[in-house]
Structure 1
């Protein structure tokens, strides 16, 4: 019987109707073919049934301890129903991207059911071209990268022929009675001093998060009454409603390579410079213009090798890196150079992990990295930032689910209190896919930000058309990895 760790308990405690704490991913697949092959709902259910044994926590729920004598425990769900967690939906044919995103926005706005395992997957049919979408939702308390990776990492194969695995003969263990939970908590108190510390940490975090949430709600109420927005962040900071808006942008990796080859730096630098340019253009379209904002402070979780941080099963640790995106700078090349310089300092520490190493991890690891990255960003709230950006490199070869090829993958990261905008980026099979999550009320023009991101990338491409090699100051040009992976 495993107890919920204090860090994981904090994500459960921090959840509210305005801040559901789950990560989500939209994956687009080729649909079933005329011969009956490919991906359909029943094949997806069978695939999950086949792979879920590798993530036992996906069949467990959180069981509180009476009187809060100890942290809650993970227990097997005796009434586990795969059909409840894997749901079927459809768009009116031919479904457009806008219709899909409207459906996704409504689904990710709803918190997960705390009485069941903390995840859901939606199989969405009816997309244009006969394609289908898989939308997954997983609570931040579930995926820590240590004991549990994201289920999405296990569902994809490197070929159209699925891996054959041994049959799963799982049977749930009986849930402990309340009396046993109390007895175990008292016994741990007497025999395991570290358990007492964990309980104290969990209770302390719960009380602190509750107090912080009350303060945020009071400020939001005062803002609504007075009509005043929080100082300093403009549209980048504000109270959250219970509704979300999801925007996606798909771009080509070749464009980022061209910019990198012309101006130096890394693919990551170019992506962040694109975001900086998109934010600049978007902010300038708003009534408040830039409002004196010259920089947007962003937290960008990065993979590092650091024994002082919690180890993950992915071969590295995840740490927060802060970068000031120069939205006040009119030159796209200068913006790129400034971002590149910031990450050169990170690289010089010797802790950074090469992108091609991350992309080579078995399965589709970006789903797990995004989950861990969003946890890191949430834990850095006290240090202050405007925007969280998770950028994860994925494999540059096609992956398959039940024989169907995945053609795109968009991250849908969660919002945290006071931050009505967040951006996730995944590169996969020649594409770079942006997922923007925004509060529906505070950021009603999030779709315009998506347009601005495309224009910012075009602006950088135009600057690279001459083909002149101009490396940023302090940044040496690096050779392109032989295997085509990005750095």
Structure 2
């Protein structure tokens, strides 16, 4: 695993910091299940990660490694169920929340796809569940090309020879296990000098030392430790409780109009999305008699390059204005806050934090992560999808609602573009957001107000 993937794996010692991600895909009809199962079987042969489980190094002397699951069973990962009548979308979304929130069996490959039949209107759905160590949003979209088509009756790709692939993987596992262990231990030792690691431990143990620390090691880690030591609490007077109970709501926005409004205001689609989320959060607090002037939000920023692995993103945090102002003024304030947050986070990226975290005890890492989660009210993420119709084993995709991880915040609003729309999944902590349908309604109204700026 990369350091970032190893960090996400270790954080799940705390169930509030689960890294499961998902998508609820609405289909115009039930797919050919046998064909879909066959497609995923072929994908698991072409993409080694889908047949790999996690092996943890003794005493965490090296990052966890991916090894082939000798007992791989495609039927554990590809399933089919049916909704009870009347089969409405509320029942589907409740089911999807349960599926994605349930922890993975950590002895098996970390993915599960469930075809859900019986959706009202002769429709069906696919609930996709991945552990974040397998893929982030963008690489998850790339994975989907293994089982999606650009036409309804597409000819499926030929199956690889499973025996040849299994033999090659078993040989590779046997040859590389010992070498990988040594390589990872050495890499862990030389990624950071021991003096730097000692400085990190000391500063994390007592953050009051940071302003006075002057050594070169402290200079190297100052930006990182400052971010990790930020204990300024979340701002919401309503979203104070946390639990492992989840509730999913969905909404959509028109792609062209939303982007046009963002460009008219001199900003980006990312800023538009954060503005819509912030506008809804502002209205939610005012409606419940607890208006607030600002909230703390986080935004996932892609750092993907041609050589990136399964996960390539960074998280930036910012204060967003939630007082009673016009939506265009809110947009400009958020654009400025985003630009500042991106610049400030350049010295404390997720990869850098994960590298330092690899040298720290898991108990300290989970405590720090929970502490950091308490500084954030809500999170957002934006993923690019397909602009053209897609098909799954003969069924057309109608919409694609993502389910982002909460990791200790009150709600995560994730956007996935598809076919001229921006489909949004609102994943809430049921203990924090007690009126999720109200928050969804305010998101829809915020979309209408923001897109009206394009005309």
TM-score, normalised on structure 1? 0.69
Q: Confirm or deny that 1:332 pairs with 2:334.
A: no
- Following TM superposition, by how much is the alpha carbon of 1:234 offset from its aligned partner in structure 2, in angstroms? 2.5
The answer to whether the 8 Å contact 1:236/1:420 transfers is no
| Distance (whole Å) between structure 2 residues aligned to residue 46 and residue 460 of structure 1 | 44
Q: 2:71 aligns with which of 61, 65, 79?
A: 79
The answer to whether the 8 Å contact 2:151/2:391 transfers is yes
1:117-173 CA deviation, whole Å, 9 max, x = no partner?
A: 011111111112211111111111222699997633432222324354332222445
Residues 442 and 147 (structure 1 numbering): CA distance in 2 closer, same or farther, change over 3 Å?
A: closer
The answer to whether the 8 Å contact 2:261/2:452 transfers is no
What is the correspondence of 1:162-173 to structure 2 with a 5 Å cutoff?
Answer: 162=154, 164-171=156-163, 172=166, 173=169
Residues 9 and 237 (structure 1 numbering): CA distance in 2 closer, same or farther, change over 3 Å?
A: farther
Give secondary structure in 1 for the equivalent of 2:85: strand
- Following TM superposition, by how much is the alpha carbon of 1:114 offset from its aligned partner in structure 2, in angstroms? 0.2
The equivalent residue for 1:130 is: 122
Q: Confirm or deny that 1:444 pairs with 2:425.
A: no
- Following TM superposition, by how much is the alpha carbon of 1:58 offset from its aligned partner in structure 2, in angstroms? 0.8
The answer to whether the 8 Å contact 1:146/1:313 transfers is no
- Following TM superposition, by how much is the alpha carbon of 1:348 offset from its aligned partner in structure 2, in angstroms? 11
The answer to whether the 8 Å contact 2:39/2:156 transfers is no
| Distance (whole Å) between structure 1 residues aligned to residue 61 and residue 452 of structure 2 | 62
Residues 256 and 463 (structure 1 numbering): CA distance in 2 closer, same or farther, change over 3 Å?
A: closer
The equivalent residue for 1:474 is: none
What is the correspondence of 1:305-324 to structure 2 with a 5 Å cutoff?
Answer: 311-312=307-308, 318-324=313-319
The answer to whether the 8 Å contact 1:6/1:199 transfers is no
- Following TM superposition, by how much is the alpha carbon of 1:331 offset from its aligned partner in structure 2, in angstroms? 1.2
Residues 40 and 329 (structure 1 numbering): CA distance in 2 closer, same or farther, change over 3 Å?
A: same
Give secondary structure in 2 for the equivalent of 1:135: strand
The equivalent residue for 1:117 is: 109
The equivalent residue for 2:381 is: 390
- Following TM superposition, by how much is the alpha carbon of 1:433 offset from its aligned partner in structure 2, in angstroms? 1.1
| Distance (whole Å) between structure 2 residues aligned to residue 48 and residue 277 of structure 1 | 40
Q: 1:281 aligns with which of 273, 280, 283?
A: 283
Q: 1:8 aligns with which of 1, 5, 17?
A: 5
| Distance (whole Å) between structure 2 residues aligned to residue 60 and residue 129 of structure 1 | 38
| Distance (whole Å) between structure 2 residues aligned to residue 177 and residue 303 of structure 1 | 31
The equivalent residue for 2:423 is: 433
| Distance (whole Å) between structure 2 residues aligned to residue 388 and residue 51 of structure 1 | 31
The answer to whether the 8 Å contact 2:141/2:385 transfers is no
Residues 392 and 148 (structure 1 numbering): CA distance in 2 closer, same or farther, change over 3 Å?
A: closer
The answer to whether the 8 Å contact 1:78/1:175 transfers is no
Residues 162 and 53 (structure 1 numbering): CA distance in 2 closer, same or farther, change over 3 Å?
A: farther
Residues 169 and 387 (structure 1 numbering): CA distance in 2 closer, same or farther, change over 3 Å?
A: same
The equivalent residue for 2:357 is: none
The answer to whether the 8 Å contact 1:24/1:412 transfers is yes
1:403-448 CA deviation, whole Å, 9 max, x = no partner?
A: 321111111011113x121110112102111111111222221221
The answer to whether the 8 Å contact 1:76/1:175 transfers is no
Unaligned stretches of 5+ residues in structure 1: 33-38, 213-229, 352-377, 468-487
Give secondary structure in 1 for the equivalent of 2:313: strand
Unaligned stretches of 5+ residues in structure 2: 206-231, 347-368
Give secondary structure in 2 for the equivalent of 1:141: coil
| Distance (whole Å) between structure 2 residues aligned to residue 102 and residue 184 of structure 1 | 46
The equivalent residue for 2:21 is: 23
| Distance (whole Å) between structure 2 residues aligned to residue 266 and residue 187 of structure 1 | 45
Residues 69 and 177 (structure 1 numbering): CA distance in 2 closer, same or farther, change over 3 Å?
A: farther
| Distance (whole Å) between structure 1 residues aligned to residue 417 and residue 139 of structure 2 | 25
The answer to whether the 8 Å contact 1:235/1:442 transfers is no
| Distance (whole Å) between structure 2 residues aligned to residue 79 and residue 313 of structure 1 | 26
Q: Confirm or deny that 1:300 pairs with 2:299.
A: yes
Give secondary structure in 2 for the equivalent of 1:45: helix
1:321-342 CA deviation, whole Å, 9 max, x = no partner?
A: 4444321142122112323445
The answer to whether the 8 Å contact 2:236/2:295 transfers is no
1:162-211 CA deviation, whole Å, 9 max, x = no partner?
A: 35433222244559999x96x6677558xx7325457999xx9xxx9xx9
The answer to whether the 8 Å contact 2:282/2:322 transfers is yes
Give secondary structure in 1 for the equivalent of 2:387: coil
